[in-house]
Structure 1
């Protein structure tokens, strides 16, 4: 199940990613959380955004419809309590079987072209996806629908939260990093690492690759350093 949010901030407030992690923390008290992913959308002068035009998706273990409503309402309440002037938040939720080709295509297009609310709302309606704008122009509905389409591909973006990845710091052994919830550690040329040390620094957000959290690393001054890749 995918719960997506977008356009929740302004230049002075905390970002969408931090809010998504807070929502995930609240939901984790009652539901299983696979992780939170960030998806980069198209950057264009005609698209309003705060810094990078990205959306966030909370991956929740599949639930029954009644539980989907509770998940949506919980997130909605948190977003409304955190609303800041100048933001145009949107929220959407979908089970995996609701993610049609149209939803996926919308997500892919959102990385390449300028889209509008009308198409976002029609795509969501045709797929049976619950979608709401929560203030301002409600422009965040575009990123919310796009986020669901991209998250469902399982091959886009990176994890803002996966297991204990936020607690990783400094130089760590590969085995300790894997135990924190990272699925694989890999060099840019495709070599999978099972031992050794990695300097995770601030780049401890693994990429979302084929449904797995993959931390990419590269050699720098004779040591392996984690990379941040969208």
Structure 2
């Protein structure tokens, strides 16, 4: 049973980011269920949308045992977020089983990347689809991006993984075999060639950032002067 837990607008300019909170929350959830990954999704950047730095949301991908597990997942994540609430933030949280994320929500996620949306539309959509959505402070504008995150994550072809498998344990350059063992499904060049072996150049101190593509975790690379360099997309 695939369950998605989304969060948005949890930080301020001088605080830890939403990605870090998502990883901490994912670690708590992983004590009970398998966390398949945590993805980041870029939303619309516009002067009418308040955001901290990049206007992105985070989604935790969870393999649960049954539908009712989403209640425990929601409460656990909510407690993590409230315990690390940042003054000036406007967080939102939502949880849904994969089969509850229907085409209107996937379309809403795409809309959130190109037009200005509002809380009313997010809350109405959640109510109509039976999705548990809640604002956790401030203006609660985070519910807008939170709902978008669910749609974008379920769509399966958006954003990049902040965490999957053991990929964050590997920083700097790494060989393809090690990256595959760590949780990446395949390595491709941006012009379409599969890379089966060799060394991938990744910035020192940074980990690879694969992208969700049709349910797989794909790392894209670019050949620069005979060396494959990891490309950060999404």
TM-score bracket for the superposition, by shorter chain length: over 0.9
Question: Which residue of 2 is the match for residue 109 of structure 1?
Answer: 111
- Over residues 68-127 of structure 1, what are the superposed CA-to-partner deviations in whole Å (9 max), with x where a residue is unaligned? 111000000010010011100000000011111111111010001000000000011111
3-state SS of paired residue (2:68)? helix
Question: Which residue of 1 is the match for residue 158 of structure 2?
Answer: 156
Higher mean alpha-carbon deviation, 135-144 vs 95-104, is at: 95-104
Q: CA deviation at 1:203?
A: 5.7
Q: CA deviation at 1:136?
A: 0.1
1:196 has 2:198 as partner: yes
1:220 has 2:224 as partner: yes
Question: Which residue of 2 is the match for residue 79 of structure 1?
Answer: 81
3-state SS of paired residue (2:39)? strand
Counterparts of 1:61-210 in structure 2, within 5 Å, are: 61-201=63-203, 202=206, 204-210=208-214
Large movers: runs of 4+ above 3 Å: none
Question: Which residue of 1 is the match for residue 23 of structure 2?
Answer: 21
- Over residues 176-209 of structure 1, what are the superposed CA-to-partner deviations in whole Å (9 max), with x where a residue is unaligned? 1100000110001111111111112236111111
Match of 1:60 among 52, 59, 62: 62
Give ranges in structure 2 of 5+ residues lacking alignment.
none
1:211 has 2:210 as partner: no
Q: CA deviation at 1:65?
A: 3.6
Question: Which residue of 2 is the match for residue 10 of structure 1?
Answer: 12
Alignment root-mean-square deviation, CA: 1.0
- Whole-angstrom distance in 2 between the partners of 1:182 and 1:94: 25
TM-score, normalised to structure 2's length?
0.96
CA contact (8 A) 2:167 2:208 kept: yes
Q: How many residues align structurally? A: 230
TM-score, normalised to structure 1's length?
0.97
CA contact (8 A) 2:5 2:74 kept: yes
Q: CA deviation at 1:171?
A: 2.3
- Whole-angstrom distance in 2 between the partners of 1:136 and 1:146: 19
Q: CA deviation at 1:223?
A: 1.3
- Whole-angstrom distance in 2 between the partners of 1:140 and 1:170: 33
Question: Which residue of 1 is the match for residue 46 of structure 2?
Answer: 44
